Structures are given as C-alpha cells and as structure tokens.
C-alpha cells in the first residue's frame, strides 16, 4: 500500500493586468497537477476556468499561463487560484489583481492535509473525515472501510502523531435512510477499537429523508461520549418550540473547547436543503454559538463552512449573506471572534483554508476538508483517500482538589487524593517540600485511566515522621514530555506519633505493691513511663521501664488509694498519649479468726471464717503429702470442695 509522499510545494503567481503566469513547484517529479482560476468582480465569483493539467518536470516545476480578455466593465478585485492533485485540492488562494504583483505560497503536504491549532506543547492529534455519503450497497461503503483501515495504519506507523479520535463532519449517508445511517455507523464503529473513538456531526444529506432518523441511529454515540468527554453538554432535541432536530453539543479536551454546531435541516421549500439553517431563538444553534465562544481556545466544528453561499464557488450553498453578516457582527460586537481558533467543516468537498472576514476584519480561519472519497465514476482508491490531521498544541489540564489525609500517624503513612482533569496524561508527578524547603520531585506514577470524567486518584505514601510537608501534583505526558501547571498546594504536619497503650489494668499484690499490665500498640517506642500519685495529691511520680507490657510499683502505703497511668516513649524524647487512668489500693492481709471446718456429707467440706477484714483467703488442703492452695473470695461464706479425678475443683 502506498504511503505518504511528502510534498513541499510553492505557487508563484505573477499578475500583469489580465495576464497571469503561475508556476507550481513540487519536490517530486511526474506529479500530475490541475489548475483552476476564477475572477472576483463586483462582489461575486465569475467563470471558474479549468486551465489545464501538467506533469511536473524533473525539477518539480509546472508552469501555466492564463490570459483574460479586457472588455469587462468592472476591474478584477482578485483572482482565485485552485490547485488540484488527483482529486485532492491542495490549495485555494486569493491573489489581488495588482499589476506586477508576485505572490509566493508555501505548504507542507504529507499525502493528506495537515492543520495546527494552539500554541505550547504538542499534545495530540485528531483526524477529520467528512462526506462519505454511504449507501447500503456500492463502493462508498467499501471505501469508508478502507479509509478507516488506512487511518489506523497511520496511527501504527506514525505513533508520534498520537491520534486520539476522529471527527466525522456530516453527510455520513447519501439520503438519510435508516439503513444507510446504520451502515455508516457500523463502519465508523470500527474506530472504537484500540481506544480510538469518533465524534459524529450531522450533515444535510443525513436529514434528506426526515429529521429523526439520524437521532435514532447516532444518539447512542452521544450517550457514550457523555461518559468520557470532560464538561460534556448537549442541546435538547428537538429544539424547544421549533420541531427542529439540531444536534448541537460541546466538550473540552485539555485547554481546548470543542463546539459542534448543526446547521443542517429538512426544509424543501426550494427543493433543496444544502444551505445552512440558523435558529435564532432560545436553544438554537446561534444561542449555542454565542454561549460558548466567550472563552478562549474554541474550535468550532460544523458540516457547513462559515462562508457566504458562492463566495469561492458560485454553485455551492453555505450561509446566506444575511445570516453570515448577522453572526459575524455579533462576534465582533462582543469581541468573541479572537477566542475562535478555527471553524472546521466539510460540505464543499474541497480542501482549503482561508479567513472569514467582515468589514475588513479577519475573524478566524475556516478550514474545509475534502470528501473522503469521490462519487460518480471517478472512484477513489484507498491510496488517494482524503482526510485531515489536526495537530493540537497547548497545555495539559492540571489536577485539582488535592487533599492529604493521615492514615497511620506512627508509621508516617498518608493518602493524597486529587481530581484528574486531563484526558491525555500518561503519568502524574508528585512534588513535595519538607519543613518549608524547596519543592522536589517525590515520585512519578502511571495513569490508570485517562478517558474517564470526574475521576479521583488516590496515592498512599510513607514518609519520615517529625516534619511538616507540602504537596503539589502535575499531569505529565511522557511521549511528548509535556507537563501541566501545578495543582493546588496542600500542607500536612506529620509529627512523631507513638500509639498509646490500651487494656491498662492494675492489681494489688500485697500491702505495698501493685502490678500493672497493658497492651503494647506502638512499633517505634523504646520504653514506657509509669506515672502514679495519691488520689488526693497533684504530684505525679514517674518511673521508666523498658519496652515491656507489665511492671511492679512498690513502696506504696496500703492505707492510701493511688491513680496509675502509662505511656509509650522513644529515645528521642517523643511520647504517646496516656492510657486510661486506673485507681487501686495495696492490700494488708489480717490473720483469719474463727476458722471452722466440718464435713457435711461424704467429700463435701464446709469452711466458715470471719471475712470482715480480709478480702481474700488462701486455703490450703493437705492431700497426698502436699498442700493444695486456693485463693478464695471471702465474701462467699460457704464453699463446697468436691473431689474429682483431676483434683480439687471449686
């Protein structure tokens, strides 16, 4: 399959009154070019003239001479020179009809048409195809399939273009029947493989039968696009109060605003529906235009180019002069036209770029793309397919809503979360500052899913405790080394944090000692502080023990009650919060008085004693040459001991 023959071409036009000498220079020999010239007289185009065809010579030059008669009543304002290679319109330019003027026009052409929008970093490309005019049967369907395959070949062979999606600018079908639209959609759906997707717009041929067929077939595409494209908006269908099914919609990719307008209609009062239909009321395409061009970096897409009918080719309909002037005057009045980077269209089956003008003001570029294949008997092979690649330059959208949350204060583990506002980034770069220092790169992480709206990212990070940290995040596109601006800055204080002991308990051992036990929850401590004080005192006494879970506190007074608490510490002076405070009093054991024991029945012993002073009693029963010790609650006056095979049991 033939690839892209890179062509650098120049047009040199010399004008002497009604005599033109036109030289075309190509970087390749034996390329057949066709020349057309029209004259602009008294505000309209006169007699587009086919001058002829030539093959370029060895040095790539083709020269044409054009002579017009001089009997016109009005002078020529300018000439229109159109150059065609095969079916492809390479360039259409205006040449002022000034004597001895000389114009030099230069253009890059890699088999198809290239356009560039925006400034800054190269971010991505998208493809424009238009006017496939698919029928249920015939070559149009086959050629659209070959076109799709060809575009995918370009994506594989020229990955640096980074083609993300395809804009289909109307006239998918020839007559707007359900079967034709279904056939076109079935072919276009092949674009959805391998992460690519397409954005369809309606053309005048798509409503030739009625207004509802297109909506019933392609509305599912808009439902899918609404889930993946940022800030998606779509007009009500039909437009309220009109009955017109205008498919107007809007979305954003990075800093570019994509405004897609529908001017096609199903009116046959003049037995034609080629002209652009402007709805001036609420919800109409004019309102959509004016409501969305008040921001910078707007790209407009429509089937109809923003031109007056007959401006370049007299037989081709677009906007009426009245509608064109009214729209242009509004854009000038509110100073919106500088926000528009370009108006991309099809409809005319021509490749050309020129400025829309009004009262000498250049409003914006109108970029038309030729028919993706040619009708009639001049069938176009896959090697000659026409489409446009638009390279987009700008800035990635930065992340927003950055927050930081401490997950594990002792381990220094935190969670960063931010909103992903970019469709194109391959990675995120996380920067941090420590204790007020400069920001440095902390880590770079890959993007899990770029084409998802309102997507929040979470990233857990472990850092050294004992510092104040600040964070910010940037979107990053690796293959073009593009970075967004920074997100908001978030600050978090991460002090050294030791977890406090839990399950703290205190038990008296004797008249001067108690035993403390607790659960060790901290991983970074080196020991514990034991705090105790008398209940009626404010003076705490502190003892330090090693990293353990129990301790003995002695030298206590059994006449007094004490409060006890404990906390974890490390060797750098950091301490955890205190455990719960527990009250306890040492125990003094008095001698047992009036101890009585007698047998009630066989193997049942009754023991009685004075329990007023001793809260606990140690009972020893001699059995088989040794004493068995039991600690008994003395509030239980009568105890039963029963002999079992395994010994005594209370």
- Looking at residue 408, what is its pLDDT? 87
Q: Is 547 a domain residue? A: yes
Q: What are phi and psi of 325, to 5 degrees?
A: -65, -40
Could you tell me the CATH number of the domain that includes residue 450? 2.60.40.10
Q: Which residue has the higher pLDDT, 615 or 502?
A: 502
Q: Tell me whether residue 608 is in a domain.
A: yes
What is the tens place of the pLDDT at every residue in 10-52?
555 565 555 666 666 665 556 666 666 666 555 555 555 667 7
User: Two tokens at 21?
Assistant: 């000498």
% of the chain surpassing 90 pLDDT:
38
Determine the average pLDDT of the residues in 184-191: 87
Each residue of 88-104: pLDDT tens digit?
555 556 666 554 444 44
Amino acid 71: pLDDT: 39
Q: Would you report the helix, strand and coil content of the chain in percent, each value rounded to 5? A: 15, 45, 40
Percent of the chain with pLDDT over 70: 67
Q: Is the same domain home to 462 and 573?
A: no
pLDDT of residue 29: 59
Longest Cα pair distance anywhere in the chain, in angstroms? Answer: 151
Q: What is the structure's pLDDT at 247?
A: 93
Query: Quick one: 509 and 546 in the same domain?
Result: yes
Q: What is the mean pLDDT of residues 481-486?
A: 92
Average pLDDT score over residue span 318-338:
94
Listed range (186-200, 535-549, 574-588) with the worst mean pLDDT:
186-200
Mean pLDDT of 403-408: 92
Q: Are both 160 and 285 inside the same structural domain?
A: yes
Query: Within this chain, do residues 450 and 314 fall inside the same structural domain, yes or no?
Result: no
Higher pLDDT, 3 or 505: 505
Shared domain for 250 and 350, answered yes or no, is yes
314 and 451 part of one domain = no
Confidence of residue 82 (pLDDT cuts 50, 70, 90): low
Mention every residue, 6+ apart, whose C-beta is less than 8 A from residue 464: 412, 494
* 152-174: b (≥16 Cβ within 10 Å) or e: bebbeeeeebbbbbbbbbbbbbb
Exposure string (b/e) for 335-357, b if CB count within 10 Å is 16 or more? ebbebbbbbbbbbbbbbbbbebe
418 in the same domain as 305: no
Are 119 and 21 in a shared domain?
no
Element (H, E) at 330: helix 321-333
Q: What is the CATH number of the domain that holds 107?
A: 2.60.40.1930
pLDDT > 50? residue 514: yes
C-alpha distances (whole Å) from 265 to each of 260, 276, 283 are 15, 8, 15
Contact criterion met (CB below 8 Å) for 424 and 396: yes
Residue 94, in any domain of the structure: yes
Do the beta carbons of residue 293 and residue 249 sit within 8 Å? no
Lowest mean pLDDT among 150-164, 456-470, 555-569: 150-164
Give the pTM: 0.64
* Mean per-residue pLDDT, 186-209: 86
DSSP states of 35-60 as a string? Answer: EEEEEEETTEEEEEEEEEEEE--TTS
In a domain, 457, yes or no: yes
- 216, 285: one domain: yes
Q: How many domains, the chain?
A: 5
Q: Are residues 202 and 296 in the same domain?
A: yes
Phi-psi region of 582 (alpha: psi -120 to 50; beta: other; left: phi over 0): beta
568 and 425 in a common domain: no
Q: Is a pLDDT exceeding 50 seen at residue 231?
A: yes
**Does some domain include residue 591?**
no
Q: Which H/E stretch holds residue 492?
A: strand 490-494
Average pLDDT taken over every residue of the chain: 78
Q: Which of 561, 584, 607 is the last residue of a domain?
A: 584
| Confidence at 637, pLDDT banded by 50, 70, 90 | very low
Instruction: Evaluate if residue 453 carries a pLDDT over 70.
Output: no
Where does the pLDDT of residue 583 fall: very low under 50, low under 70, confident under 90, or very high at 90 and above? very high
* 339/298 Cα distance (integer angstroms): 6
pLDDT at residue 474 tops 80: yes
- The residue among 341, 375, 394 that closes a domain is 394
Residues 64, 10 share a domain: yes
Last residue of some domain: 472, 494, 516? 494
Peptide bond into 238 cis (omega under 30): yes
- Which one has a higher pLDDT value, 37 or 506? 506
Range with the lowest mean pLDDT among 244-253, 325-334, 345-354?
Answer: 345-354
Most confident of 344-348, 407-411, 451-455, 560-564: 560-564
In a domain, 555, yes or no: yes
Pairwise pLDDT comparison (590 vs 343), residue with the higher score: 343
589 found inside a domain = no
262-272: per-residue pLDDT in tens? 998 866 544 45
Overall average pLDDT of the 481-508 stretch: 91
Q: Which alpha helices (H) appear in 133-231, and where do they start and end? A: 139-157, 178-188, 212-228
* Domain span at 630: 596-649
Residue 249 resides in a domain: yes
């Amino acid at each position: 399959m033939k690839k892209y023959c890179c062509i650098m071409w120049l047009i040199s036009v010399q004008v002497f009154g009604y005599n033109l000498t036109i030289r075309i220079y190509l970087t390749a020999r034996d390329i057949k070019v066709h020349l057309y010239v029209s004259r602009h007289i008294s505000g309209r185009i006169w007699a587009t003239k086919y001058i002829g065809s030539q093959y370029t010579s060895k040095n790539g030059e083709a020269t044409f001479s054009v002579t017009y008669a001089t009997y016109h009543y009005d002078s020529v304002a300018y000439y229109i020179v159109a150059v065609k290679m095969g079916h492809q319109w390479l360039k259409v330019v205006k040449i002022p009809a000034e004597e001895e003027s000389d114009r030099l026009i230069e253009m890059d052409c890699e088999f198809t048409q290239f356009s560039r929008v925006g400034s800054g970093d190269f971010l991505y490309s998208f493809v424009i195809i238009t006017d496939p005019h698919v029928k249920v049967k015939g070559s149009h369907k086959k050629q659209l399939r070959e076109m799709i395959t060809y575009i995918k070949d370009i994506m594989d062979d020229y990955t640096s273009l980074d083609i993300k999606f395809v804009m289909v600018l109307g006239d998918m079908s020839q007559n707007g029947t359900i079967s034709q639209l279904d056939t076109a959609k079935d072919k276009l759906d092949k674009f959805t493989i391998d992460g690519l997707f397409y954005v369809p717009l309606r053309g005048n041929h798509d409503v030739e039968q009625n207004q509802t067929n297109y909506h019933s077939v392609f509305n599912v595409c808009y439902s899918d696009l609404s889930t993946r494209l940022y800030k998606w908006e779509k007009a009500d269908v039909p437009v309220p109060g009109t009955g017109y099914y205008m498919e107007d919609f809007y979305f954003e990719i990075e800093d570019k605003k994509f405004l897609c307008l529908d001017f096609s209609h199903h009116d046959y009062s003049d037995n034609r529906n080629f002209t652009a239909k402007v709805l001036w009321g609420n919800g109409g395409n004019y309102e959509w235009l004016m409501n969305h061009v008040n921001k910078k970096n707007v790209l407009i897409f429509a089937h109809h180019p923003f031109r007056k009918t007959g401006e370049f080719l007299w037989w081709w309909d677009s906007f009426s002069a009245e509608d064109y002037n009214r729209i242009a005057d509004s854009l000038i009045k509110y100073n919106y036209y500088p926000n528009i980077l370009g108006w991309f269209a099809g409809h005319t089956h021509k490749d050309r770029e020129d400025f829309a003008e009004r009262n000498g003001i250049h409003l914006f570029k109108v970029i038309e793309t030729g028919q993706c294949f040619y009708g009639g008997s001049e069938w176009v092979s896959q090697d000659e397919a026409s489409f446009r690649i638009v390279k987009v330059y700008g800035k990635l959208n930065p992340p927003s809503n950055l927050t930081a949350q401490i997950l594990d204060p002792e381990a220094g583990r935190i969670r960063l979360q931010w909103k992903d506002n970019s469709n194109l980034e391959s990675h995120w770069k996380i920067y941090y500052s420590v204790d007020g220092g400069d920001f440095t790169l902390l880590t770079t992480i890959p993007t899990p899913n770029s084409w998802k709206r309102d997507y929040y990212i979470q990233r857990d990070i472990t850092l050294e405790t004992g510092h104040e940290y600040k964070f910010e995040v940037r979107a990053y596109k690796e293959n073009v080394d593009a970075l967004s601006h920074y997100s908001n800055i978030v600050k978090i204080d991460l002090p050294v944090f030791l977890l406090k002991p839990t399950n703290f308990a205190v038990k008296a051992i004797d008249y001067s000692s108690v035993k403390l036990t607790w659960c060790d929850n901290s991983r970074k401590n080196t020991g514990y502080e034991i705090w105790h004080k008398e209940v009626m005192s404010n003076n705490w006494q502190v003892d330090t023990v090693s990293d353990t879970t129990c301790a003995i506190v002695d030298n206590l007074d059994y006449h007094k009650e004490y409060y006890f608490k404990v906390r974890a510490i490390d060797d750098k002076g950091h301490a955890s919060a205190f455990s719960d405070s527990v009250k306890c009093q040492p125990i003094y054991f008095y001698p047992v008085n009036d101890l009585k024991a007698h047998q009630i029945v066989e193997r049942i012993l009754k023991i009685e004693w004075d329990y007023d002073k001793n809260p606990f009693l140690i009972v020893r029963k001699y059995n088989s040459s040794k004493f068995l010790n039991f600690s008994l609650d003395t509030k239980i006056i009568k105890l039963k001991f029963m002999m079992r095979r395994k010994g005594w049991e209370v």
